[in-house]
Structure 1
């Protein structure tokens, strides 16, 4: 027997993040909403948050925070989930200090955050020797969480850090657990493939582009959707015993991969590792606008510091990866705006 599927049963329109261009519109049914909320509750439980526990959400999308006529619905939903949204669309020094005070004073059981948003708070707390309240857990999303970032967040907040993978159009697809051995795939509603450049299946543990299918939406099925991310399926199962197939890693957006003159590929995370530890760097963005040219935009905490040695060191480190023939320019700016989806893009390949 086939399920009784309503024809064109859709309840709301959604859009993709639009990180790399114009957002794509989707239609979602109530079934999608139900299953996605179930995934959120499940992943929350893994991170130590029970239903009704107070949560702070460091989120950067204006669409999630200010939604016009539907704003009253979002307010009711947040009240029911006992969530407080802190808008990280603009993270000035004053805003960061305010949010640190909110976290320390209200003591949330859990923090759900954009990766770059929590990292800006971590960096500011480290720089100013601020002691942070320790929630039961921190869940990061909407960005690549590497081991260095995870360790820095754990060091400042002194709590477990979990990594969630999802998207606006697909919902929550995978999440790490307390074992941190990869991301459990939400196979109840998601199917994930990893394909190479010829659209052939990659071997387990082999990195390729992620192709995703949504199994829970009857109004507008999304099948074998090239979501624009790269990652690898794991050959191992997690020792937690849950038994779900695993994503070994999600390594980032396809646009994060830079191209060298000799045909190599350099992952954008190489550049984030160059600039994240720099205490005087408030914001940065690395752009490849030609095969032989890298532009680095920088926002400094203190503009008066002599940075000649800094520029020389970073230029050499970039050339080690991209090739000695690469021209590197640095541009000091007052701010690096976030994208339409509220995320600050650290690395961009335009070729």
Structure 2
């Protein structure tokens, strides 16, 4: 038995039992259910949906009132499998009236989380511990499709700490990562020296899987090509996430790391929504945990037609997300996947493409830095970072209340640490205008030198 087998079959299950978490049992269910027929998966979704709707009706003001006014019943909607009678909700509604959508009483152990604000509007929401167990199991299965299982050597090019964390938390996290053989590099402030360090670590650590923000992986690939670097031992796979993956980025990353790229799609509200299987002909939806609709002009999008992603979380009973508009765009796929999985398939994801910020000295700052940082400031309702020169950017903020001088300094210091020489001007504004296509741009960076007109 190698270490990966020992971790996944013994150490990790033991660790989860100590914490009272049923994650391994859910993983075992998911390993089987992914190959159920589409009809069987839909039947199970309807059963879970009924429980969710009954709970929402009984415990949340919004859905209690809606069911009372419409005369609809959770049983009727769930049995039909047609969610169109239910109202669509969005982030603005949840932010305006948070208590209307939260369960009272909340399930034991519920807690609050914040979205990263990749749409420019951070959301505070309630989280059911049971939902977190499902999310962990779902993401582990999705990564496993890429040959990236727990216990195998994994190198992450991901968001680093932008705010202080407690010593106890940091030590616990580091201990877990060492046991799980997970190596982390911050994707915030990627200069030539930092990128060289990542390449050197890939050769030294020999990860079986490399995981990263799409823009950070692309920056690494460009740097590797400029250096003429090739991995001494190519990883088994590369997993991209947090941002949309464009064809040219996939090609660059695969050439640089000599490994196939697997795209994932998720968000903070639900974690992994969909991921590519070994066939890589689309992204399988995590249908045991989520009901995912793709709507074009309010109706289900046809195969290949672009529509908005709308998600219902079947297991978050602390704050039921029912027909929640994510703001992302996707295309449903036609027909089943050759892999034999009955899970619904998305042809591709379009949305949340965050520009890279280019700082003096060649440093690169992924657009995800700003949602990661600014979600922690309660005064900020919306934001947009717009770079106007290599040495300067504006951070436009729509405020709920005055932003204190202390908070301004914290933001400035975090940016200075990640991108020395890049000055930021924080500007309160009344509103942040969307693009002509109606989308929000969270970061607007300068194009690469070679791409400028």
TM-score normalised by L of structure 2: 0.55
Of the candidates 280, 285, 288, which is equivalent to residue 188 of structure 1? 288
Verify: 1:250 aligned to 2:352, yes or no.
no
| Runs (5+) with no aligned partner, structure 2 | 1-46, 56-102, 357-361, 368-385, 392-419, 425-440, 447-453
Instruction: After TM superposition, give the deviation of residue 80 of structure 1 in Å.
Output: 4.3
User: Residue in 2 aligned with 1:324?
Assistant: none
Verify: 1:134 aligned to 2:223, yes or no.
no
Change (3 A) 1:66 1:82: farther
Of the candidates 85, 104, 119, which is equivalent to residue 203 of structure 2? 104
Alpha-carbon distance between aligned partners in 1 of 2:205 and 2:289, rounded to the nearest angstrom: 35
Verify: 1:209 aligned to 2:308, yes or no.
yes
Instruction: After TM superposition, give the deviation of residue 135 of structure 1 in Å.
Output: 0.7
Change (3 A) 1:61 1:222: farther
Deviates more, 1:201-210 or 1:181-190: 201-210
Change (3 A) 1:171 1:40: same
Instruction: After TM superposition, give the deviation of residue 236 of structure 1 in Å.
Output: 2.4
Indicate the structure (1 or 2) with the bigger Cα radius of gyration. Answer: 2
Alpha-carbon distance between aligned partners in 1 of 2:230 and 2:211, rounded to the nearest angstrom: 19
Give the alignment's Cα RMSD to 1 decimal: 3.5
User: Residue in 2 aligned with 1:171?
Assistant: 271
Per residue, is there more helix in 1 or in 2?
Answer: 2
Instruction: After TM superposition, give the deviation of residue 58 of structure 1 in Å.
Output: 0.8
Change (3 A) 1:14 1:23: same
SS at match of 2:300: coil
Verify: 1:199 aligned to 2:269, yes or no.
no
Per residue, is there more strand in 1 or in 2?
Answer: 1
Of the candidates 7, 28, 32, which is equivalent to residue 127 of structure 2? 28
Change (3 A) 1:14 1:74: farther
Verify: 1:8 aligned to 2:112, yes or no.
no
SS at match of 1:21: coil
Pairs within 5 Å for 1:187-336: 187-196=287-296, 198-253=297-352
Question: Is the contact between residue 56 and residue 108 of structure 1 (CA under 8 Å) also seen in structure 2?
Answer: yes
Question: Is the contact between residue 62 and residue 89 of structure 1 (CA under 8 Å) also seen in structure 2?
Answer: no
- CA deviation digits over 1:19-68, x for unaligned, max 9? 232410122122122111111221222111233111111102536x9643
Change (3 A) 1:176 1:299: farther
TM-score normalised by L of structure 1: 0.70
Alpha-carbon distance between aligned partners in 1 of 2:390 and 2:238, rounded to the nearest angstrom: 27
Change (3 A) 1:97 1:335: farther
- CA deviation digits over 1:212-242, x for unaligned, max 9? 1111212111111121211111122211111
Of the candidates 78, 90, 100, which is equivalent to residue 189 of structure 2? 90
Of the candidates 220, 223, 245, which is equivalent to residue 124 of structure 1? 223
Instruction: After TM superposition, give the deviation of residue 131 of structure 1 in Å.
Output: 1.6
- CA deviation digits over 1:122-181, x for unaligned, max 9? 000111111224111111100111222111111111111101111111111100122111
Instruction: After TM superposition, give the deviation of residue 347 of structure 1 in Å.
Output: 6.7
Deviates more, 1:94-103 or 1:11-20: 11-20
Instruction: After TM superposition, give the deviation of residue 334 of structure 1 in Å.
Output: 6.4
Alpha-carbon distance between aligned partners in 1 of 2:125 and 2:339, rounded to the nearest angstrom: 35
Instruction: After TM superposition, give the deviation of residue 298 of structure 1 in Å.
Output: 6.8
Verify: 1:55 aligned to 2:184, yes or no.
no
Change (3 A) 1:14 1:61: farther
Question: Is the contact between residue 309 and residue 328 of structure 2 (CA under 8 Å) also seen in structure 1?
Answer: yes
Change (3 A) 1:233 1:147: same
User: Residue in 1 aligned with 2:247?
Assistant: 147
Aligned length: 280
SS at match of 2:248: helix
Instruction: After TM superposition, give the deviation of residue 283 of structure 1 in Å.
Output: 5.8
User: Residue in 2 aligned with 1:315?
Assistant: none
